[in-house]
Amino acid sequence: MNILVLGPQGSGKGTQAKKIKATYGVPHIATGDMLREMRELDTPLGRELKAVLDSGELVNDALMIDLIRDRLSRGDTLPGFVLDGFPRTMAQAEALDELLRELGRDLDVVFEFQVPDRQDLIARMLKRAAEEGRADDTPDAIRRRLEIYDRETAPLVEYYRTTRGNVVGIHADRSVEDVFHEIRQSLESVEARA
Ligand code: AMP
């Protein structure tokens, strides 16, 4: 099953993606995690990534598209995957479509993580920053990421609604277990249709 999770930072999509991985045995492809790993390298790319990640801006599309092309071409994704953090721009979404076409695959479901209350999101991100010691989660970077989400990424929900009609809204402002229950129910009906 090929799953995409879309939603602002702090909406809990990473946590749910990990649970999907544990339950369904598909790899969790989290571009933020991949970039944070690459940031630690003492190379020009590592240093460039550090600056971009700390500011809350987006990494350029070309690099992201290469990264995903590489990752989705690996055999472990054949039974499926849960894609988390990509695409974030329309150019990335179009590149993903092209890549999936080449690979003869498609997204079975797009989960849209909805958290109506912005303050709630900011509080969750600050809590995570403290718990996980994530240096890129400063209040300024958090604000900037939400702005970028609204401008660049939120329109992708409409894009998938129009091109695929497979968007499922998730009430993400509830407990981890309640949210996962909703996801499982939805995946069961996707499986039943397949
Ligand atoms: P995340 O852990 O998904 O919130 O990602 C952390 C940071 O990595 C983001 O704020 C971006 O700077 C960068 N990033 C992750 N995925 C992408 C992407 N698909 N396109 C551009 N930048 C990304």
Q: Are 6 and 61 in contact (CB under 8 A)?
A: no
Question: The CATH number of the domain where 9 resides is what?
Answer: 3.40.50.300
Is the CB of 91 inside a 6 Å radius of any atom of ligand 1? no
Does residue 112 fall inside a structural domain?
A: yes
Does residue 194 fall inside a structural domain?
A: no
Centre of ligand 1 from the C-alpha of residue 12, in Å: 15
Q: What sign results for the dihedral spanned by CA atoms 174, 20, 122, 167? A: negative
Q: Is the pTM of this model over 0.75?
A: yes
The CA distance from 125 to 84, in Å, is 16
Instruction: Collapse the DSSP code of 121 into the 3-class scheme (helix H, G, I; strand E, B; otherwise coil) and give the result.
Output: helix
Whole domain around residue 126: which residue ranges? 2-189
Centre of ligand 1 from the C-alpha of residue 192, in Å: 33
Does residue 114 fall inside a structural domain?
A: yes
Q: How many domains does the chain have?
A: 1
Selecting among 19, 21, 50, 88, the annotated active-site residue is 88
Read off the tokens for 24. 């369904």
Listed residue (81, 30, 91) closest to 61, CA to CA: 91
| 184: annotated active-site residue | no
Is the CB of 1 inside a 6 Å radius of any atom of ligand 1? no
Q: Are 166 and 159 in contact (CB under 8 A)?
A: no
Selecting among 50, 134, 151, 193, the annotated active-site residue is 134
Q: What is the pLDDT along the chain (194 residues), one digit of tens a residue?
A: 999 999 999 899 999 999 999 999 999 999 999 999 999 999 999 999 999 998 889 999 999 999 999 999 999 999 999 999 999 999 999 999 999 999 999 999 999 999 988 888 898 888 888 888 777 788 888 899 999 999 999 999 999 999 999 999 999 999 999 999 999 999 999 888 87
Say which amino acid occupies 172: A
Is the CB of 85 inside a 6 Å radius of any atom of ligand 1? yes
